[in-house]
Amino acid sequence: MKILGLSGAVGHDPSAALLCDGKLVAAVEEERFNRQKHAKNMQPREAALYCLEAAGVAPEEIDLVAYPFAPVSFFHPGRWHYAKRHLYAPDRALRAIVNGNRHFRRNRRNVSRMLEEIGIDVSDRAEFVPVEHHLTHASCAYHYSGFEEAAVLSVDGVGEYSTTWLGHGKGGNLHKIKEFHSPDSLGGFYGAVTEYLGFRMLNGEFKVMGMACYGDPDRFDLSSLITYGPDGYRLNTRYVNCVGFRRFRQKGIGRWFSKKLADLWGPPREGDEADEPYIHIAASVQKVLEEAVLALVRGQLKDVLDRCGNLCLAGGVALNVKMNQRLLAEPNVERIFIFPAAGDAGTAVGAASYVAHQRGEIVEPLQHVYLGPEYSDEEIEAALKERGVEYTRPEHYEQEVSDALARGEVVAWFQGRMEFGPRALGNRSILGNPAFPGVSDKVNLQIKYRERWRPFCPVVLDEAAESFLGTDHPSPYMTLTFDVSKEWAEKVPEIVHVDGTTRPQVVSAATNPKLHRMISLFRDKTGIPLLLNTSLNRRGEPMVCSPHDALEMFYGSDLELLAIGPFLVPK
């Protein structure tokens, strides 16, 4: 069966994924084609066309379209909870009761129109199957983990009405244990404080996480914003995740926090510096998020974890790697799997995999996320010639790149199929020497044009990972932080954050042979089995997709060498 999964139902991160007989053959975000970060309020048209082309599948061959947003029953507790909690905004409360599926109907119309444009008729041949939003997150996490049994947690802003889903996966089937509904949302709570701290929701949450390491979490008491325990949590919408007249307005734009919060803490942060008192607010919100999630896991998932030791996570909040480190440290968690595209882009995969399992297909565990576009040598060379740049095609390619890195040069590395998800995993990466003083400042200020205090991550050879991280736990997707051993922290300070942790990608010869070979040559020269690795993009831009994108970035920054396909472009 050929199943096309589509996302974008909640207004951001549209993507497409294609499963053929249970195998994930292609997946990509729409933003990579239209170059608009998160591609807000757009349909995944180009992403869907790419998936069909990559698999050699004609539109009329699609059997089923899976969609991560479903109609909700009039009696669903989420509708009534939403209405009750929004009595201060009676128009919203009333709509939830009398017209609670308006978003689904709008989504169905818009996506059907887009599918018709690309030749997929969901009114006749192809079946359209809506799946509840958090079930698609849960399916991503569980079906691609490789675990036979696991506790499953999905946490994000909001789907239809649900914001947090806790359940149990066994034998391929998912069972709900507990669910929470809007406006009680851990993603909404963290996102509102993200806006207060001067960042944009969807773009800034990971910045708050990085800033938190500079602050003292006990300097601010957040008990007036959120209460939590093993049975659940509740937000105070007089402060956060509020709507209507409660919202603080800044430069004419309504924010997800209230004037009451600004009165409590002072004016919202502006500018790029990690400064007081805002670093302490960041530290506090990070601590509360971690403790609220830990309380839920201990209270609701303990029995499952005691039995199997496996925990699966998805949803945008699952990209909070510091929280994930705390979860892995729990005594009854032996292994943790976070779906790499944990945010809403991943729900295209989750919708497709959920329906595939429901229809009796076996979903293959995830092996890698190199699922996006790739370009032939001829296509790359044509782009180089069109740009009129000087380039070479060296015989000892990886040797020359590793030499440049050993000298301290910063390299744009563009190879093979693009990664699916927000992390650069060695095919659309900026690489640097993690022992070279000042390389992180150079990448932040002269290449990515972002805040000086932002941390960097390493890509580590698999044979060296245990000595570097002090654990053999898998970490192929940059979804966890680990404490760096003291010996290595002193050798490679450019990829160690202020709290002594790092967020690694452990690379093997099986998943990325070219990158593994190049790092091995770098290790032979320097004794260091890892490189600084960050996404090949500038601040506010999506990760580069095409050779043209790579050249635009290369000549628009202080990158020193572009390693693109078999070609090297010096500057």
With H, G, I as helix, E, B as strand and everything else as coil, classify residue 127. Answer: strand
Region 485-508: what's the mean pLDDT? 95
pLDDT tens for 380-437 read 999 999 999 999 999 999 999 999 999 999 999 999 999 999 999 999 999 999 999 9
Catalytic residue selected from 12, 38, 76, 86? 12
Q: What angle do CA 379, 536, 481 make, to 5 degrees?
A: 135
Taking the domains of the chain in order of start, what are their residue ranges?
A: 2-76+103-136+343-358, 146-338, 377-570
Each residue's pLDDT tens digit, 435-456: 999 999 999 999 999 988 899 9
Give the whole-angstrom CA distance, residue 371 versus residue 385.
Answer: 27
Q: Is 86 a catalytic residue?
A: no
286-290 own/partner pairs: CB under 8 Å, 24+ apart = 286/208, 286/209, 286/212, 286/217, 286/320, 286/322, 286/323, 287/212, 287/217, 288/189, 288/222, 288/225, 288/226, 288/228, 289/186, 289/189, 289/190, 289/317, 289/320, 289/323, 290/322, 290/323, 290/326
| CATH class for the region spanning 146-338 | alpha beta
The domain made up of 377-570 is a member of CATH 3.40.50.720: no
pLDDT for res 61: 97
Look-up: residue for tokens 């202080």? Answer: 558
Please provide the average confidence, as pLDDT, over all residues in the chain.
Answer: 97
Query: How is domain 2-76+103-136+343-358 classified at the CATH fold level?
Result: Nucleotidyltransferase; domain 5 (3.30.420)
Mean pLDDT, residues 12-27 taken together: 98
Whether residue 570 is predicted with pLDDT greater than 80 in this model: the reply is: yes
Percent of the chain whose pLDDT exceeds 90: 96
pLDDT mean over 539-553: 97
243-279 confidence digits (pLDDT tens): 999 999 988 899 999 999 999 999 999 988 879 999 9
Band the pLDDT of 140: cuts 50, 70, 90: very high
Phi-psi label, residue 438: left if phi above 0, alpha if psi -120 to 50, beta otherwise? left
pTM given for the model: 0.96
Q: What is the pLDDT of residue 273?
A: 80
pLDDT digits (tens, 9 = 90+) for 340-352: 999 999 999 999 9
Residue 453: predicted pLDDT: 85
DSSP state of 161: S
Which residue from 153, 87, 464 is spatially nearest to 317, judged by alpha carbons? Answer: 153
Cβ-in-10-Å burial (0-12, 13-18, 19+) of 329 comes to exposed
Average pLDDT over residues 157-181: 98
pLDDT at 90 over 90: yes
* CB-based burial, 242-272: b 16+ in 10 Å, e otherwise: bbeebbbebeeeebbbbbbbbeebeebbeee
CA 509 to chain CA centroid, nearest Å:
24
